[in-house]
Structure 1
């Protein structure tokens, strides 16, 4: 990433970076025009990178990226495509061109396994996501996310932090120019995320990354992200505050966020997501971008109630096109 951009990360993106992030010169004439809404938006949104997470439903995920005009998307090395990524390089190539930035998350370090540097390197290399993204967009548009919610099942925080630090060093060497996102924790207070936020080994490891990774959710059927305390979870505000306190000046990516209900439509979920990420003044300025969880078209798959499909992306785009209300 160019020097003028990287030096701005801790203080918010420069205007030049914002324009590049949101589609070139189109951003300078207003997000309404950028989205093809016909009229400039009545108020400019917070320019944050945005897009969907792929769990199952590759074509729907691509459609969602287009429907949303997403400039960020997320895949996982170990799943998301029938037959696997390594066996389908054409699909990897297309995925790498679908959005400006691409998050590639490892399976190693997920939930109840300690992250392993060799496994992380092998996953990224065999999936070819970094290789193809470097060719299509440049190495600095590939964000490698290491691990996922280890506080659910890993008891040795010190050990995980040590292994995460070693993995970051290997990733820097093996995939030069890639950006690195730290391991996001589950916000569920029952799995004690604050123990991890207080652990020097974990904190020091994440400090070596380009981004802090976080997750936050909403259980209420209203789709409000402010009431998670009653569900024994850190709210989005609490999570972002912890990130700002532990890693001051470091940008944050919400690599998962969702509304866990079917009481509202997928379209309305996407609309609420855009309202939160781009128009809610209570969202901390350290949030650089966010990918919502998720595109999941398998009716028997994981967390199907949180599927936003491609219609959610239409709702997201509609809220952006409206601007300030």
Structure 2
């Protein structure tokens, strides 16, 4: 998700509940639906629509959710500490993503620390659930507009060190790349500075999407994007044994209702045994109730969460 104040990924052609545990492996034939669910952390990402996001968390029995320091609530998080407090108690784990390092700017360690401090997400999450339940995600899809993975990777490594020092006990998720092949994700996956910086994190962050009207996540190669399988294979190759979080994934078509999209999300994350066992959790993109906001066609509101939970309730089909 790019900074909605300046950019939408479409501008470049874009471009009940699971228990918290490392992904379990169910017995099933390759490529088939698992008879029992893979237990992965799961929940919605908030762009705009705070109350709808909270409703979605309840509808889904989500144990993971995601916010961004730079938007998500009218007036900003710093001016609404009560909303930050509530958000920090809404799920077991909470991802807090920085704006620095987002899409078209290099990540800055001083700004990253200031964003987390000023938003108070770590402070409140540590009180409500424990420091290790706060996951700080650093940056977002820099390969779209940042041309130098060497510099970004170096700055990211410094930022990881600063975040660990400033917020003891926090978990850190590395910068997720855009899977669009036109912005060269493999150049970044092959860059030593970037690879070394992600290796210092607790989680690898990734993004993947589906454009086909069917809502299939397996056809992205025809849309010039890495598929979820290709993306997870790269994560396993570069950072073996490190758990992965899909901090954005979505179906972009309007041919499906939000409920049906949510159902498909639940099926992919918990019942498709072709998804790598390294996938620890996933937050879908997104709750966006502003009709003039970024990527509104990907908004699944709270109905998507109901569809997700229904898929969990249905179990093995």
Scaled by the length of structure 1, what TM-score is found?
A: 0.88
Alignment match of 1:296 (pick from 276, 288, 292): 288
SS at match of 1:52: strand
Match of 2:172 among 175, 180, 194: 180
Note if contact 2:20-2:63 (Cα within 8 Å) is conserved in structure 1: no
Higher helix share: 1
Deviations 1:228-280 (A, max 9, x none): 00000000000000000000000000000000011000000000000000000
- 8 Å CA contact 2:19, 2:41 repeated in 1: no
User: Paired residue for 1:3?
Assistant: none
Query: Does 2:181 align with 1:225?
Result: no
Partner of 2:256: 264
For the residues of structure 1 that align with 2:286 and 2:20, how far apart are their CA atoms? 25
Which segments of structure 1 move beyond 2 Å, counting only runs of 4 or more? Answer: 18-22
Q: 1:58 & 1:301 partners in 2: Cα distance?
A: 14
Match of 1:242 in 2: 234
- The corresponding residue for 1:111 is 103
| Partner residue, 2:93 | 101
> For 1:223, what is the secondary structure of its paired residue?
coil
Question: Does the 8 Å CA contact 2:212/2:219 hold for their aligned counterparts?
Answer: yes
Structure 2 residue matching 1:221: 3-state secondary structure: coil
Give the total of aligned pairs: 289
Q: Give per-residue Cα distances to partners, 1:183-237, cap 9 Å, x unaligned.
A: 0000000000000000000000000000000000000010000000000000000
- The alignment's C-alpha RMSD in Å is 1.2
Question: Which of 61, 81, 84 pairs up with 1:89?
Answer: 81
Is the 1:21–1:71 Cα contact (8 Å) retained in structure 2? no
Structure 1 CA distance for aligned equivalents of residues 39 and 124 of structure 2: 26
CA distance in 1 between counterparts of 2:46 and 2:247 reads 11
Does the 8 Å contact 2:20/2:41 carry over to 1? no
Quote how far apart the aligned CAs of 1:43 are: 4.0
TM-score by length of 2: 0.90
Shift of the 297–20 alpha-carbon distance from structure 1 to 2, 3 Å rule, reads closer
Secondary structure in 2 aligned to 1:97? Answer: helix
Which residue is 2:145 aligned to? 153
Q: 2:202 is matched with which residue?
A: 210
Q: Which SS does the other structure have where 1:268 is aligned? A: helix
In the alignment, structure 2 segments of 5+ residues that lack a partner are: 1-17, 23-33
| Equivalent residue, structure 2, for 1:138 | 130
Alpha-carbon separation, structure 2, partners of 1:53 and 1:21: 20
C-alpha separation in 2, matches of 1:205 and 1:119: 18
Aligned to 1:47: 39
SS of equivalent to 1:258: strand
Note the alpha carbon deviations across 1:127-164, whole angstroms, 9 max, x for none: 00000000000000000000000000101110000000
Structure 1, gaps ≥5 residues long: 1-17, 23-41
Helix, strand or coil at the partner of 1:317: helix
2:206 and 2:123 mapped to 1: Cα distance?
26
Superposition deviation, residue 307 in structure 1:
0.3
- Whether 1:125 and 2:138 are equivalent positions in the alignment is no
